[in-house]
Amino acid sequence: MSFGQAPTIVVLKEGTDTSQGRGQIISNINACLAIQDTLKTTLGPLGSDILIVNSSGKSIISNDGATILKLLDIVHPAAKILVDISRSQDSEVGDGTTTVTILAAEFLKESKNFIEEGVSSHIISKAFRKATALAINKINQLSIKIDKVNDNSEFYNTLIKLAKTAMSSKIVSNNSEFFTKLAVDSVLSLDQNDLNLNLIGIKKVPGGSIDHSLFIKGVAFKKTFSYAGFEQQPKKILNPKILSLNIELELKAEKDNAEVRVQSTADYQAIVDAEWEIIFNKLKLIEDSGANIVLSKLPIGDLATQYFADRNIFCAGRVASEDLDRTIMAVGGSIQSSVSDIDPAAHLGNCDLFEEIQLGNERYNIFTGCHNAKTCTLILRGGAEQVIEEVERSLHDAIMIVKRTIQNNEIVAGGGAIEMEISKYLRNYSKKIAGKQQLIIAAYAKALEIIPRQLCENAGFDGTDLLNKLRMAHATGETWAGIDFNTESVSDNMKKFIWEPSLIKINALNSACEAASLILSVDETVKNQESQSPNASQAQAMMASRGRGIPR
């Protein structure tokens, strides 16, 4: 009895492209290395900026890793993992987005040789996780704790130095002293128990120099659309009472297809009078509440504007929802959807001073001396829109660094110092163990050297020479030896005040290791060609990657 050949079972639709095995892993690694090539020139204080033009023709100039990766149209599913880790670094710490992407790609580059030689990706990932745990433990041992209780001025200076290091690679580095003070003052103006960054408002006003930017300890928003009578309203009020509304204060035309049947002109006049009576009753109730500033998310019409002007009350309609919410958090009170039961004690907010000032071509309404919640507003100036946007991104990084330092007050030296010290430590550790893990941990240690090497290359220094000097310095016990950009040599970066929060390095190593392990675990990609859309974002959704589980 003989059996014929088993029939071929078709599981996937015809035209489906499948790739698997060692070649697929190497292909994924190469895609990530292409991302690294794009980003690595932006690393460090002397890194370059990248000009990105989107599909609508808008140009963005930036060297922020998360911003660049978000704007790049990346289709490869494995390379998109690097976009995700840069975003996680940006949301968790705020800085180090380029570092984490470069490190993840370098870990993959070092593992590529092992994959080609047939080493299982499970073994590589296991060794990477062990090396990361050792590195983080070493950072915790080396990090220096800042005492923020006994000496507030010293702690303030420390925050300034940390923010300055974060801004050293940004487009505003020449004005770093000015902007670091803005960043530190804005975070310290918040309630130190929760440090809610939503209470820091950032407004952009084109025109003027970037050092014309303002720090306002309070709430500020652009003057809203206003009707005739607005200029007769007060532009400065001491100790105002502020009422926030979510109702329209204007006469509205009847809806389409509305029908009102009247028998005489007197009936028609009664309807018109009733409409006016309704709005005048609303305005009278607002006046009786004692409020002298009225803000509303919805329009405040010309009738109400003139009514308030005659009674020395300031009003602003069509206030942006986020501006009104932040104002309420700062001055107190609550948004009212009716004026029939206003309780002045519970529903009105207050502050020390309200004023309207001219900034460039715009007028801004400013509330200062807010007692309900500590808040501030940064008004950014600049000659070009791209410059103002990059200033905003730079300030975001510095503000996040200051916040994280207040919450986790431990620092390490930057400029490649901590990476070289961990690299030395892991290289020495690898010599004490046997098997494949010895080689992989040594490769992990070598990968960490990409940070000081790339810093040298971006600055135009001799990377090989300076790396040799760094290895020698760390071998002789100089823990904080790093790249000194002023002397084009090696120096003690802790004494040079090139500081970074240890949280940046810990989060970067964790994220880079996880991303590298995830990419190494994927050994098959299934892509449905027929369902693929020309739109890149839809094309990405049609790609499915299958990974093998990695023991942790």
Q: Are 352 and 369 in contact (CB under 8 A)?
A: yes
User: Considering the entire predicted model, what is its pTM?
Assistant: 0.77
Beta bridge partners, 359, equal 362
Contacts of 127 (CB under 8 A, 6+ apart): 436, 437, 440, 441, 444
pLDDT in tens, 340-390: 888 888 889 899 999 998 887 888 999 998 887 788 899 998 888 888 888
Q: Which of 4-18, 37-51, 75-89, 133-147 has the lowest mean pLDDT?
A: 4-18
- At which residue do the structure tokens 């460090």 appear? 44
Instruction: State the average pLDDT over residues 160-167.
Output: 86
CA 376 to chain centre: 18
Of the pLDDT bands very low, low, confident and very high (cuts 50, 70, 90), residue 533 is: very low
Of the pLDDT bands very low, low, confident and very high (cuts 50, 70, 90), residue 552 is: very low
Q: How far apart are CA 517 and CA 535, in angstroms?
A: 29
Query: What pLDDT does residue 492 have?
Result: 92
Query: What pLDDT does residue 385 have?
Result: 82
Query: Which of these CATH numbers, 3.30.420.40, 3.40.50.620, 3.50.7.10, 3.40.50.2300, describes 218-374?
Result: 3.50.7.10
Q: Which of 152-156, 286-290, 363-367, 422-426 has the lowest mean pLDDT?
A: 152-156
Query: What pLDDT does residue 535 have?
Result: 47
Q: How far apart are CA 444 and CA 10, in angstroms?
A: 42
pLDDT at 549 over 50: no
Q: How large a percentage of the chain has pLDDT more than 90?
A: 30
3-state secondary structure 113-150: HHHHCCCCHHHHHHHHHHHHHHHHHHHHHHCEECCCCC
pLDDT in tens, 71-111: 888 888 888 888 888 888 888 888 888 999 999 999 999 99
Query: What pLDDT does residue 530 have?
Result: 53
Instruction: State the average pLDDT over residues 323-348.
Output: 88
Query: What pLDDT does residue 253 have?
Result: 58
State the CATH class of domain 16-145+413-547. mainly alpha
Contacts of 90 (CB under 8 A, 6+ apart): 65, 66, 97
Query: What pLDDT does residue 401 have?
Result: 86
Domains 16-145+413-547 and 218-374 share a fold: no
Query: What pLDDT does residue 7 have?
Result: 55
* Sign of the Cα pseudo-torsion (88, 90, 92, 95, in order): positive
pLDDT at 495 over 50: yes
- At which residue do the structure tokens 């023991």 appear? 551
Count of helix runs (H) and strand runs (E) in the chain? 18, 21
Query: What pLDDT does residue 506 have?
Result: 93
- Domain limits of the chain? 16-145+413-547, 218-374
Query: What pLDDT does residue 13 have?
Result: 53
Q: Which of 216-230, 241-255, 510-524, 532-546 has the lowest mean pLDDT?
A: 532-546
Contacts of 137 (CB under 8 A, 6+ apart): none
Query: What pLDDT does residue 6 have?
Result: 54
Instruction: State the average pLDDT over residues 239-246.
Output: 92
Instruction: State the average pLDDT over residues 240-267.
Output: 77
pLDDT in tens, 176-188: 888 899 899 999 8
Query: What pLDDT does residue 8 have?
Result: 52
Q: How large a percentage of the chain has pLDDT more than 70?
A: 89
